[in-house]
Amino acid sequence: MLGCDQHTAVLDHDAIVGLLTTVPAGDLYRRADGVRHDSVGDAVHLRGLIEFSNYCRNDCMYCGIRRSNAHVKRYRMTREELVETARRAVDIGFQTIVLQSGEDMHFDQAGMCRIIEAIKRMDVALTLSIGERDYADYKAFREAGADRYLLRIETTDTDLYHRLNPGMSWQRRHECLLMIKELGYELGSGIMVGQPGQTIDSIADDLLYFRGIGIDMAGIGPFIPHPDTPLAGEASGTLELALRVMAAMRLLMPDINIPATTAMETLHPQGRIMALQAGANVVMPNVTEGEYRRLYELYPGKICVNDTPVHCRSCIGLKIKSIGRTIGQGWGGHVTHRNY
């Protein structure tokens, strides 16, 4: 809306690099906060995140639940547990449920569809974040009622991608994003900032890639080394760069949904609030229950592992109100103006 064109018209690759490096961070955050205010308003939409299985067929070098990490105690919720967890999240006010897992093919097409149908009967928006599947699966999940899909591209540097995601194909992942979009899902993607070997230039390319394919949501979080992975000894990403990337994303695509990510808060106790004041308009509190919360350890130091869904819901609600923002009502989907 107002101001968007003026803020985004000049954002080519070099301008984005400037935002990520030389522009004073405070100025960038304020600008992104202004664009966020003008284009999506002051409401912060909450999504209840259920981490329902930590089995994964992949072996990403950075990920704590990678297949070859033998230290992980694996779990998989039953359908009943999962639907009950969703029910409780809906009862405490969540109007979007996000189902996330490793790439666990135990949940086959028919099994996922039953779960999707059960949750959609609760009259909420449903987001899937279960990785790469084939077209028939994506289509069936969509027809069963899934509204949105999250699949981070992680990086558009294909060499880096292939180094850090052995056995996977960047092209294949890109095609998954296109299929998801074509099927009419709201498409969420994103990157991990500070991956070993990632360059600022490649991050600028990532942001332009997202604008090119027309994502509806961008999840951007810092890389945090996990001790049981091959990247254990690498440096962590920084909160500042993650916030800069997120803020630049807001300038580039003013009306999309952008979460203040959990990994940001792992690096700083106010990380999510800082993000909400630098372009973010979504928070995805964990509504997984009991022991599962700590077993879904993609990276160490994950916040809230000893808390309950009710506690997290009220904690984040208070934080949001303390910075003068409101809790979003309704499903909070992407309402696009697409003037970029």
Residue 251 burial (CB < 10 Å; 0-12/13-18/19+)? Answer: buried
Q: Where in the chain does DSSP place strands (E)?
A: 43-46, 48-53, 96-101, 125-129, 148-150, 186-193, 217-222, 259-260, 282-283, 326-327
Is 4 a residue that touches ligand 5AD (CB under 6 A)? no
**DSSP code at position 76:** B
CB of 256 to ligand 5AD, least distance (A): 17
Q: How far is the CB of 236 from ligand FES (least distance, A)?
A: 18
Q: Find which of ligand 5AD, ligand FES, none residue 58 binds, CB within 5 to 8 Å per kind.
A: ligand FES
Residue closer to ligand FES (CB basis): 47 or 66: 66
CB of 63 to ligand 5AD, least distance (A): 4
- Which residues, in sequence order, are CB contacts of 222 under 8 Å at separation 6+? 192, 193, 194, 236, 237, 238, 239, 241, 242, 263, 264, 267
Number of residues near ligand 5AD (by CB under 6 A): 12
Residue (60 or 278) nearer to ligand FES, CB: 60
Is the CB of 81 or the CB of 228 nearer to ligand 5AD?
Answer: 228
Q: Decide which of ligand 5AD, ligand FES, none touches 154; Cβ closer than 5 to 8 Å per partner kind.
A: ligand 5AD
Window contacting ligand 5AD (CB under 6 A); options: 68-76, 118-126, 218-226, 282-290: 218-226
Coil, helix or strand at residue 74: coil
Closest approach of Cβ 173 to ligand FES, in Å?
A: 11
How many residues comprise the chain?
340
Residue with Cβ nearer ligand FES (129 or 156): 129
Residue 215: CA count within 13 A, CB half-sphere: 27
Q: For residue 21, with 0-12 CB atoms within 10 Å meaning exposed, 13-18 middle and 19 or more buried, which class applies?
A: exposed
Q: Under the rule (CB under 6 A), what is the footprint of ligand 5AD?
A: 62-63, 152, 154, 192, 221, 223-224, 226, 263, 298-299
